Structure 1
Amino acid sequence: MTTKATKSAKSEIWETIVVLVQALIIALVIRSFLWQPFSIPTASLQSNLLIGDYVLASKYTYGYSSYSFPFKAVPINGRIFGRTPERGEIAVFEPVPQKEAYIKRVIGLPGDEIQMKNGLLHINGEPVAKERTGTRIDTDSNGISVEVITYQETLPNGASYEVQEISDTGAFDNTAVYRVPADHYFMMGDNRDRSLDSRSLSSVGYVPISNFIGKAEVRYFSIKDNLNPWAVWNWPGNVRWDRMFESVYQ
């Protein structure tokens, strides 16, 4: 015989399941159409984005492609809605040779010619303004620390941000001319000598517009040493409270 208490317990379990399913659907909609969280596991954008920073990327800014959705579940040819990426923005994308998300800065637009000469970025044959600002110690994801020189770099459209370099003689400090194909973009890290980016054509290369996932907007969490954010017992002394809830462009 089924008692009233048994029926009540089953009803509570069913209600809990319904609430969980609704929450999952809402989270999936938000992740697919509005915002998607990403962590920063490498030093390629230091000092603007540190290892252990967590950012939200807006999906709607650049519109939607098959890369906007989990498992590329929605077959979209190219992109729909939104606008094209602008020079200087930080964007999340999936390189053609890779199967994981990267986050870099938009440097080259379709049709641009990009070249590095002695560590100085050139766009369409013109050197990009770069002013030395100082030095600091930079530590990568392997715990290797080196002294770097910091600069303020300003792109032709006025976008300005800090870059850092170990030297002007690194592997990608002197390159041939990269000619960005139509509907593709050239992406670079701000930590120029510690970034695997479009300068390596075999590893990242030119990024098709369809491969963009979203525009990085807000840093919502940050923890030292890339510790797991859910391990709250590690928070004291490790969470970077001063980096929470800030624009990635500050």
Structure 2
Amino acid sequence: MRKSKSEKKEDGKGTFRETVSTVLWALAIAFVLRTFIFQPFHIPSGSMLPGLMKGDYIITSKYSVGYGRHAATPLPFPVKKGRLFEQEPKRGDVLVFRPEGGRNTFIKRLIGLPGDQIQMRTGQLYINGEKLPLEKVGLESFVNQFGNDEAADLFRETFPEGHQHLIYDSQKNSPSDITQIFTVPAGHYFMMGDNRDNSGDSRVPVNADGSGGAGYVPLENIIGRAEIVLLSVDEDFVIYKPWTWLNMRSDRWFKTIE
């Protein structure tokens, strides 16, 4: 039996409602996952070399640090101070955060905890007056922010708690090699890039216009802890140009961030 025009119209409305309902449910699930579980980020610079490269796409975990006011960026999240279900980050964690008054999202390594004294002396990091052990690993080259090849000494640095990671020292006696003593305020953290001479981090204050470095980072401004490199692309990769999709770094799939 053929359906009447009114029946066909009702069927069409039902199909439309089902489609809208499916889309809304999908958006709601995606929002919950992005806000409370994981969030992807793109690495725009080489400030975290050698561990993270420009072009890396990383996954951060939200639940590992709790939920601050930037948990649902760019949407507002109803937290003014502290973090919901707060878990204290550890020295050595690689964290994604928004500097206080800053315009951009940063990714750096947690160096200083509340109350710590942080200082750079002749290119070496001191925490609470103690120089961190450094082990020379070798020499590497990388592409700097100007697109030029640059050489860097590769060191293994060890935190007081035993955490080890690799850093670059590419410029002897650079302005960032000697700093004042930074005393980390309560409720704040001190962040630094692993590419020590090419990182605008907590050694540099945030300017009035939102540019500059990171300054001291309030605990509620932490977004998540970087867990893995999902994939990595080179400079020639463009998402809307399928013929560039093969320009990926085959050795950086699902790489754990240390």
TM-score of the superposed pair, with normalisation by structure 1 = 0.93
> For the residues of structure 2 that align with 1:195 and 1:40, how far apart are their CA atoms?
13
Question: Offset of 1:40 from its aligned partner?
Answer: 0.2
Establish whether residue 222 from structure 1 lines up as the match of residue 220 from structure 2. Answer: no
Establish whether residue 211 from structure 1 lines up as the match of residue 221 from structure 2. Answer: yes
Matches within 5 A, 1:14-163: 14-70=17-73, 71-163=75-167
Q: Name which of 225, 245, 250 aligns with 1:241.
A: 250
> For the residues of structure 1 that align with 2:92 and 2:99, how far apart are their CA atoms?
18
Q: Name which of 159, 165, 169 aligns with 2:169.
A: 165
Q: 1:230 to 1:26 in 2, by over 3 A?
A: farther
Q: Secondary structure at the match of 2:197?
A: helix
Question: Offset of 1:79 from its aligned partner?
Answer: 1.4
Q: 1:243 to 1:230 in 2, by over 3 A?
A: farther
Question: Offset of 1:233 from its aligned partner?
Answer: 2.7
8 A Cα contact 1:38 1:56, kept in partner: yes
8 A Cα contact 2:204 2:215, kept in partner: yes
Question: Offset of 1:228 from its aligned partner?
Answer: 3.7
> For the residues of structure 1 that align with 2:163 and 2:183, how far apart are their CA atoms?
21
Gaps of 5+ in 2: 207-212
Q: Secondary structure at the match of 1:23?
A: helix
Question: Offset of 1:171 from its aligned partner?
Answer: 1.4
Question: Percent of aligned positions with the same letter in both sequences?
Answer: 38
CA deviation digits over 1:26-84, x for unaligned, max 9? Answer: 11001111111111001100110100101111111111122212322323431121311
TM-score of the superposed pair, with normalisation by structure 2 = 0.90
> For the residues of structure 2 that align with 1:140 and 1:229, how far apart are their CA atoms?
23
> For the residues of structure 1 that align with 2:241 and 2:131, how far apart are their CA atoms?
46
Gaps of 5+ in 1: none
Establish whether residue 175 from structure 1 lines up as the match of residue 179 from structure 2. Answer: yes
> Which of these two proteins has the greater Rg computed from alpha carbons?
2
8 A Cα contact 1:52 1:226, kept in partner: no
8 A Cα contact 1:40 1:54, kept in partner: yes
Q: Secondary structure at the match of 2:235?
A: helix
Task: Please name the residue that 2:209 is paired with.
Answer: none
> For the residues of structure 2 that align with 1:114 and 1:208, how far apart are their CA atoms?
16
For structure 1, which segment, 13-22 or 186-195, has the greater mean C-alpha deviation from structure 2 after superposition?
Answer: 13-22
> For the residues of structure 1 that align with 2:236 and 2:115, how far apart are their CA atoms?
37
8 A Cα contact 1:51 1:226, kept in partner: no
Question: Offset of 1:231 from its aligned partner?
Answer: 4.3
Q: Secondary structure at the match of 1:22?
A: helix
CA deviation digits over 1:137-184, x for unaligned, max 9? Answer: 111344122111111111111111110011231111011111111111
> For the residues of structure 2 that align with 1:228 and 1:86, how far apart are their CA atoms?
36
Q: Secondary structure at the match of 2:175?
A: coil
> For the residues of structure 2 that align with 1:79 and 1:39, how far apart are their CA atoms?
24
> For the residues of structure 1 that align with 2:117 and 2:236, how far apart are their CA atoms?
36
Q: How many residues align?
A: 248
For structure 1, which segment, 7-16 or 137-146, has the greater mean C-alpha deviation from structure 2 after superposition?
Answer: 7-16
Q: 1:241 to 1:12 in 2, by over 3 A?
A: farther
Q: Secondary structure at the match of 1:66?
A: coil
Task: Please name the residue that 2:210 is paired with.
Answer: none
Q: Secondary structure at the match of 1:152?
A: strand
Question: Offset of 1:9 from its aligned partner?
Answer: 4.0
Question: Offset of 1:7 from its aligned partner?
Answer: 4.2
